[in-house]
Amino acid sequence: MIEDFIAAAEEAANLAAQTVRPYFRARLDVDQKSDASPVTIADRSAELAMREWLITRFPDHAVSGEEFGTLHPAGNPTPRYRWVLDPIDGTRAFVTGRPQFGTLIALLDGETPILGVIDQPILNERWIGVAGQPTRFVGAYGAAGTRACPGLGQAELSVTSPEIFGADLPRWRNLSGQVKRTSYGGDCYAYGLLALGQIDIIAEATMQYWDWAALVPIIQGAGGSITDWNGAPLHPNGDGRVLALGDASLLAAAMAALAE
CATH 3.40.190.80 holds for 152-258? yes
The model's pTM is 0.95
pLDDT of residue 155: 98
pLDDT of residue 33: 65
pLDDT of residue 1: 86
Residue in 66, 37, 41 with CA at minimum distance from that of residue 51: 66
Burial 9-41 (b: 16+ CB within 10 A, else e): bbebbbbbbebbeebbeeeeeeeeeeeeebbbe
Interior angle at CA 36, CA 30 and CA 41, nearest 5: 25
pLDDT of residue 234: 97
Superfamily of domain 2-138: Fructose-1,6-Bisphosphatase, subunit A, domain 1 (3.30.540.10)
Give domain limits for the chain: 2-138, 152-258
The answer to whether residues 126 and 11 touch, using CB atoms and an 8 Å cutoff, is: no
pLDDT of residue 36: 58
pLDDT along the chain (260 residues), means of 10: 96 98 89 71 94 96 93 90 97 94 98 97 98 98 97 98 95 97 96 98 96 98 98 95 98 95
